[in-house]
Structure 1
Amino acid sequence: MSVSLYYCASRATPLTDAETAAVERIVAARTASFPYEDQESLYLYDGDEGRPDEVVAGSTKMPFDPGKVLPVLDHVLGSVTELRRVLPGADWRVHMDDLDVPWDETEGYAFPGMRGADLATDPGGP
């Protein structure tokens, strides 16, 4: 059984051209900096897959390797945090299956206690 992280932003107004470009820049940069070639990273759905008011939506399947879960989760939540910050006025929902991921204005998305530098690195390396 796999566990996935889901993320979506909804609002009444569609993305502007500038917001679309910002989302594309974030996705490209975060994909390029993802630490594992063999794992799923940030993945955004095509615009026609969700509800009409969804401006961004996607999911990431978590790795089966326990040593890679926290680094992947930290990287993807960092990506979603960046996306949220460039899309003002959107209503966000970020959750891992049935567990909502809390938002903090300063730190962004993270589960309590997961921001320790030693927790978000894979002891076996990338």
Structure 2
Amino acid sequence: MSVSLYYSLERDTRLAPDEQQRVAAVLARHDLDRFADPLMGGEPFSFWDDPSEGTALEGSVRVPVDLERPEETAGAALAEWGRLLGELRQVLDGGTWRVHLEDVAMVWVEERGVFWFPAGG
């Protein structure tokens, strides 16, 4: 079983070469295949090669959910991808980040530097 995490940086300009280098450096610090167990529905974290108009970065990843151990699968994957996207937000200027798990929006948590679910929601 899996659910999908969607993420994008909406802005009018594509990534400049120096921004592409910063993105590559952030991605290199993470194990993008960590939750890519196809038997559990997971896949590697990635961005789409050709983002939509008005979008600098865009992608999605299937997050594995083991119903017997959800904190070890979905919880761990969402925490990792929330940190990774948070690092990207901090190294890229401008635009609006949109991060959501299926239809549930994740928000920027400034004090932790991550995307996570709203408190109380």
TM-score (norm 2): 0.79
Q: Aligned residues, how many?
A: 110
2:75 corresponds to which of 63, 70, 75: 70
C-alpha distance in 1, partners of 2:55/2:95? Answer: 9
Q: Is 1:111 the counterpart of 2:112 in the alignment?
A: no
C-alpha distance in 2, partners of 1:93/1:36? Answer: 21
2:103 corresponds to which of 86, 92, 98: 98
TM-score (norm 1): 0.76
Q: Superposed, which structure 2 residues align to 1:11-90 within 5 Å?
A: 11-31=11-31, 35-36=34-35, 38=37, 39-46=42-49, 48=50, 50-65=51-66, 66=70, 67-90=72-95
Contiguous gaps of at least 5 residues in structure 1: 114-126
Q: How far off its partner does 1:111 sit?
A: 2.0
Contiguous gaps of at least 5 residues in structure 2: none
How many percent of aligned residue pairs carry the same amino acid? 35
Corresponding residue number in structure 1 for 2:7? 7
Q: Which stretches of structure 1, 4 residues or longer, exceed 6 Å deviation after superposition?
A: none
Deviations 1:66-110 (A, max 9, x none): 231111110011111111111111111000111100112222211
